[in-house]
Amino acid sequence: VDELKLGDNDNLAAIVAAAAVGRPAAAQRMEAAPDELSEVGVEEHLNARLPLELAFTDSSAKPVTLGEFFDNQRPVILTLNYSDCPMLCSLQLNGLVAGLQGIDWNLGGEYRVVTVSIDPEEPSERAAETKQKYLEIYGRANVERGWHFLTGEEQQIRQLAKAVGFGYTYDAATQQYLHAAVTFVCTPDGRVSRYLYGIEYPPQTVRLALLEAAEGRIGTTMDRVLMFCFQYDEQKGRYTLAAVNLMRAGGVVTLLFLAGMLGWYWRRESRKAKKLDPQAV
């Protein structure tokens, strides 16, 4: 992009959307970012502990702390958005919902989602409207307690954003927040486990990220086998087959097969020996 006019919302949104695809895509672009985006980006803080003591207000206007949504049992998907975002937030959350619809786990069951508004002026009533919108899109019953939309003061929001390495800024000319599209998958005890970038979230990626964050405490035995066979590829931004793990698994299967064949052979020879010599042990 050669020029950027502050009054051009479409240009700003397009640039931020392009940046939101993730670090691999951004690395291919060598031109300097416009001044308006100098504070926008993501610095990964994997395994960083979230400030769970931070105080927010939920969509029912009830005071809460971030830690209330981490129960040491279920992983938590965290997003930083705001309800009046003209485009990118809707694209990101629509993509996230599509990914969640593609897995059989339910909101509030095997995992939770927490969306914190980066707009300190957003009222809880507006957050409630946004929550209702996305629960309707999700389309499953009895999941209201599975997705929490929080609002808060500037200091609290900034502290959370800093903890996860989420850089954003407010542009007065366009009257919107400039930010990247990134989803944070967190462990049940409140640590950052995985960064998922962009506005599309394949169901398998979402499922494996949740399984990884939960350290195998959710899902079936087959899910845990899949987690062993796949690893996250930061360059591709998705989970790919892990060749080393596959070779290890193949080695184990081979050993089990050989052990089974040897056992079968030993039993057959033992039966033959008994037929020839009934006194043989």
Q: What is the pLDDT of residues 156-212, one digit of tens each?
A: 999 999 999 999 999 999 999 999 999 999 999 999 999 999 999 999 999 999 998
Instruction: Report pLDDT for 221.
Output: 47
CA distance 11 to 213: 36
Instruction: Report pLDDT for 178.
Output: 95
Instruction: Report pLDDT for 2.
Output: 36
Q: What is the CA radius of gyration of the chain?
A: 25
Three-class SS of residue 2?
Answer: coil
Tell me which residue has tokens 């946004």.
Answer: 130
Tell me which residue has tokens 């975002």.
Answer: 85
Taking the alpha carbons at both ends of the chain, their separation in whole angstroms is 85
| Contact (CB, 8 A) for 206 and 212 | no
Q: Please give the helix or strand (H or E) that residue 172 lies within, else none.
A: none
Which residues neighbour 218 within 8 Å (Cβ) at sequence distance 6 or greater?
A: 74, 75, 105, 110, 111, 210, 211
CA distance 34 to 107: 38
Instruction: Report pLDDT for 146.
Output: 97
Which residues of the chain, if any, have pLDDT below 70? 1-36, 216-265, 268-270, 272-281
pTM summary value: 0.72
Which residues neighbour 254 within 8 Å (Cβ) at sequence distance 6 or greater?
A: none
Q: What is the pLDDT of residues 53-67, one digit of tens each?
A: 999 999 999 999 999
